[in-house]
Amino acid sequence: MALLSVDELCVHYGKIEALHDVSLTVDEGQVVALIGANGAGKSSLLKAISGIVGVASGSIRFRDQVLTDCAPHEIVRHGVVQVPEGRRIFSRLTVQENLDMGAFLRRDHAEVRRDFERAFAMFPRLRERRNQVAGTLSGGEQQMLAMARALLSKPQLLLLDEPSMGLAPILVDLVFDSIEAIRKDGVTILLVEQNAFVALQIADIGYVLETGSIVLRESGPALLENDAVKRAYLG
Amino acid sequence: MSFEIVSSGFQHRQRTGTPLSQALKTGIVFGVLSLYLALVGVYLTFDKSWVVVNVLSMGRTLLFVVPLLAGVQFARLNRSQSRAVQLGGTLLVGLIVGGFTACLLPVILFGNLRVMFVALSSPLAKMLALGLTPVLGAAVLVAGSAAAALFGALLTVMSPTVRRPITVGLAALAVVALLQEVLQLILRGGGAAFSFITRGLFQYGGLTVRGAIIVFVAAALVSIVVARLRAPFKARFAELPPGAARFLRQAGIVILLAAIIFFPLIGGSFVAQVFLLVGLYALMGMGLNVEVGLAGLLDLGFVAYFAIGAYTIALLTADSPHALASMSFWAALPIAVLVSVAFGFLFGIPVLGIRGDYLAVATLGIGEIVRVLVLSDVAQPLLGGAQGILNIPSPAIGSFELATPTSLYFLTVCCLALATYFAFRVQDSRLGRTWMAMRDDEDVAQALGINLVKTKLLAYSIGAAFAGVAGAIFAVMLKSIFPHSFQLLISINILALIIVGGLGSLGGVIVGALVLIGLPELLREFGEYRFLLYGAVIVAMMRLKPEGLWPARIRRRETADA
């Protein structure tokens, strides 16, 4: 059974239709990439799943729960955690305090400590900068902090919104290496990316979104070879 | 998008021109400043107070302080120039400033601009001419300005060991002269020991010549002694084991705090009244600091909770037809706090989905709605309308009534101490951390599982509680309350004091209240111009020290890392 299934989802901003009859499934342990141009509705889909924007019609199911009408903080409780686009960290808190906020809902303190160690092992830079104010980190470090913070909330499904945005190529590689590592830890990932090339390389399944609708669904490698995709997104 | 008060990245870089162009620029800037002070009437008002009685008025002093500052500014910009250039430039600066000011003389004597500028009167002409004939006076004014500029420049370039005693002496003289009324009041209250000092230094209206010399010399001597002892003292301090050093530092803070707290005891009832007001504003500052400093919710309607606390006490304790009960103050106080909390919660609901600048406007509306409602005819039978509620009894402990400003001041200090402790604990708690996360990024905080509705309403409610306590004491301080006591200006004042003190810092709230509420009260004799000063201080603060007088921990870390 699918971990996440989205059925005929419609999202409106006022009169503007952002998503139209979008259906998508994510199986446990997969990395699913969602690619598409600016304004295709990629971020809207993630926001709908994490409850930040309301749903006009359709349904979102995670395991056997319906998330469609849940408040954002309840959805996090179910294990669906989003890393918002644009390296959004708590800039006036320290690295440590940022990570503490990630574990905000958890009561299993011993487990949290172990996850801290795992996060620091994955991103050693963050251990060095533990007591530094997060706003003074470099761009790449901030993206890592945002991802580490999401991991500390012990997600079952991680929603990543444009993790490569605004990063130097070498940092993009680093970020995607850590996405692979997170997947190996057993976290399922739904990834939204404009950088289709890197996204499809690690994706098991790729969806192509165009003006609010899904137009293609293939395995990652197949999409990389697809002529239409090549023309439109890989250049 | 949270409301942030930070210095912008914009760096005002001083463009270096030739010394001549800089002299012209400095002269014109300070000349215009001097014109401004004359036109709005500052010179005239200050002419009525004395630095030294019957010798030197404050207005005349100010007349020459402006060119002096111009000289300082010019000398600072041209430190590396040759002596001749510095001398010539400074003289030019002084002449320009003096010339600008002197220009007013013919304007007053031959023109008639009084329709626009009330201050352009013959007393001002007399003052500007320094009591001489207009022509001679103008000449002396210009020459005196040049001399003042030269003195300023000289101060700037001389060695610090000479400069410090002089500036400290002059500053002490200025402070004593500005606060002479209060100082005399305090010293009179102090009994025989102090009356000796009073007679030595003061006469009615200000310092005597002898007093001025004594103050200047004493302050200069103290400064010399301190400068001498500082280095050896610092060396000794550094050698102390860290435990002892920390103990000494903490003891110093405790002594300073105790001195401030017990100051009104020797200061008499006027000082107690001022400190009482400072305490009430500090209490409200603590509350608004929870909302703005920690949770990032810019609230411009904060005065509403202050009003609600005050009206609750009035309705529950007053001996008036509007009263609902006749409880004691102590029984009514917790109820007042609870009612404020309830309204904090209630008023929080409509503005839950509003952020940043929009929130400021929405809360502004809420504050005004409360004031207008209280004033309205509809609420008149319940709340007394514009006539307010009278006969609010003073709180009593046993048979001792807390009726004097001093006793109410100590009540405020106790409440403030409790409030500070509570604020201190809550800021490092899980809730405090949640507020700060929400302040930095609402969306992410939500994405991590924080319930924004609960967190925001808690911030509004807890913030309102502090204001409720302040309002309760305010009601028994005035013994009667009226809707017009709860103006928007109070909300703005509280916001200004927490920003000037240092957003998110508890020490900053107290310091901000002392500076922004205490000082203007002590400078009452300068009437409306204290608000001019107040505004100038706020602008200067934001330019020079945007992180506040007592920056919050995190801010200090930020500046240290940067």
Report the CATH number at residue A49.
3.40.50.300
What is the per-residue pLDDT for A170? Answer: 87
What is the per-residue pLDDT for B8? Answer: 52
Q: Are B371 and B407 part of one and the same domain?
A: yes
Q: Are B148 and B176 part of one and the same domain?
A: no
Q: What is the pLDDT of residues A119-161, one digit of tens each?
A: 999 889 999 999 999 989 988 889 889 989 988 988 999 999 9
Q: Which of A76, A92, A93 sits opposite B449 (nearest CB)?
A: A76
**ipTM of this model?**
0.85
DSSP conformation class of A230:
I
Percent of chain B surpassing pLDDT 70: 94
Q: Are B406 and B296 part of one and the same domain?
A: yes
> Hey, what are B272's tokens?
């107690």
Note whether residue B7 is domain-resident: no
- Which of A220, A168, A203, A195 has the alpha carbon at shortest distance from A38? A195
What is the per-residue pLDDT for B532? Answer: 81
Q: Is-contact A201 A225, C-beta < 8 A?
A: no
Rounded to an integer, what distance in angstroms lies between the CA atom of residue B359 and that of residue B350?
10
Note whether residue B245 is domain-resident: no
Q: Are B188 and B125 part of one and the same domain?
A: no
> Hey, what are B158's tokens?
């001389």
Q: Is-contact B493 B520, C-beta < 8 A?
A: no
Q: Are B40 and B181 part of one and the same domain?
A: no
What is the per-residue pLDDT for B5? Answer: 45
Q: What is the pLDDT of residues B220-279, one digit of tens each?
A: 999 999 988 888 888 888 888 888 888 888 898 899 888 888 888 877 788 899 999 999
Summarize the confidence of residues B28-32 as an average pLDDT: 96
Rounded to an integer, what distance in angstroms lies between the CA atom of residue B53 and that of residue B495?
39
Rounded to an integer, what distance in angstroms lies between the CA atom of residue B111 and that of residue B130?
20
Rounded to an integer, what distance in angstroms lies between the CA atom of residue B298 and that of residue B356?
7
Query: What SS3 class is residue B344?
Result: helix
Q: Are B386 and B399 part of one and the same domain?
A: yes
Note whether residue B219 is domain-resident: yes
Q: Which of B447, B554, B558 sits opposite A72 (nearest CB)?
A: B447
Rounded to an integer, what distance in angstroms lies between the CA atom of residue B125 and that of residue B47?
12
Q: Is-contact A208 A216, C-beta < 8 A?
A: yes
Note whether residue B437 is domain-resident: yes
- Which of B514, B310, B264 has the alpha carbon at shortest distance from B407? B264
Arithmetic mean of pLDDT over chain A = 90
Whether A202 has a pLDDT exceeding 60, the answer reads yes
Q: Which of B441, B448, B452 sits opposite A104 (nearest CB)?
A: B448
Collect all residues with Cβ–Cβ distance below 8 Å to B25 and sequence separation of at least 6: B17
Rounded to an integer, what distance in angstroms lies between the CA atom of residue B377 and that of residue B60?
52
Note whether residue B387 is domain-resident: yes
Alpha helices (H) along B103-239? 104-110, 122-128, 134-157, 160-178, 180-189, 192-201, 209-239
Collect all residues with Cβ–Cβ distance below 8 Å to B545 and sequence separation of at least 6: none
What is the per-residue pLDDT for B554? Answer: 58
Q: What is the pLDDT of residues A56-85, one digit of tens each?
A: 999 999 998 899 888 888 999 999 998 888
Helix A139-152 vs helix A109-122: crossing angle, to nearest 10: 150
Confidence class of residue B151 from pLDDT cuts 50, 70 and 90? very high
> Hey, what are A203's tokens?
């994706």
Distance from CA of B379 to the nearest CA of A (A): 39
- What's the Cα-to-Cα distance from A231 to each of A39, A206, B455, rounded to whole Å? 18, 16, 48
Summarize the confidence of residues B456-466 as an average pLDDT: 96
Q: Are B417 and B461 part of one and the same domain?
A: yes
Rounded to an integer, what distance in angstroms lies between the CA atom of residue B223 and that of residue B229?
10
Rounded to an integer, what distance in angstroms lies between the CA atom of residue B450 and that of residue B481?
41
What is the per-residue pLDDT for B1? Answer: 35
Summarize the confidence of residues A170-196 as an average pLDDT: 90
- If you compute the radius of gyration of chain B from its CA atoms, what whole number of angstroms results? 27
Q: DSSP characters for A7-31?
A: EEEEEEETTEEEEEEEEEEE-TT-E
List the helix and strand counts (H, then E) for chain B.
Answer: 25, 6
- Which of B363, B333, B337, B367 has the alpha carbon at shortest distance from B348? B363
Q: Are B400 and B536 part of one and the same domain?
A: yes
CB interface of B with A, residues 214-233, below 8 Å:
none
Query: What SS3 class is residue A161?
Result: strand
DSSP conformation class of B2:
-
Q: Is-contact A149 A96, C-beta < 8 A?
A: no
3-state secondary structure B19-75: HHHHHHHHHHHHHHHHHHHHHCCHHHHHHCCEEECCCEEHHHHHHHHHHHHHHHHHH
Rounded to an integer, what distance in angstroms lies between the CA atom of residue B559 and that of residue B562?
5
Collect all residues with Cβ–Cβ distance below 8 Å to A155 and sequence separation of at least 6: A79, A80, A81, A187
What is the per-residue pLDDT for B7? Answer: 45
Residues of A whose CB is below 8 A from B436: 90, 92-93, 97
Domain boundary among B157, B172, B199: B157
Distance between the two ends of chain B, CA-based, in angstroms? Answer: 23
Residue type at position B116 = M
Is B441 in Cβ contact with A133 (below 8 Å)?
A: no
What is the per-residue pLDDT for B313? Answer: 95
Note whether residue B391 is domain-resident: yes
Mutate to test the interface with B, among A43, A50, A82, A92 (most CBs of B within 10 A): A92
Residues of B whose CB is below 8 A from A100: 433
Q: Are B206 and B313 part of one and the same domain?
A: no
Q: Are B206 and B260 part of one and the same domain?
A: no
> Hey, what are B112's tokens?
């008639």
Domain carrying residue B173: 161-239
- Scanning every residue of chain B, which has its alpha carbon at the shortest distance from the alpha carbon of A103? B448
DSSP conformation class of B79:
T
Q: Are B96 and B228 part of one and the same domain?
A: no
Domain boundary among B97, B132, B157: B157
Domain carrying residue A74: 4-234
* Full strand arrangement of the beta sheet holding B50-52: B56-57, B50-52, B206-207, B202-203
Q: How many domains does chain A have?
A: 1
Distance from CA of A81 to the nearest CA of B (A): 7
- Scanning every residue of chain B, which has its alpha carbon at the shortest distance from the alpha carbon of A86? B444
Note whether residue B249 is domain-resident: no
Q: Are B54 and B93 part of one and the same domain?
A: yes
Domain boundary among B239, B268, B294: B239
Report the DSSP beta bridge partners of residue A206: A33, A218
For A2, phi then psi, to 5°, come to: -70, 145
Note whether residue B97 is domain-resident: yes
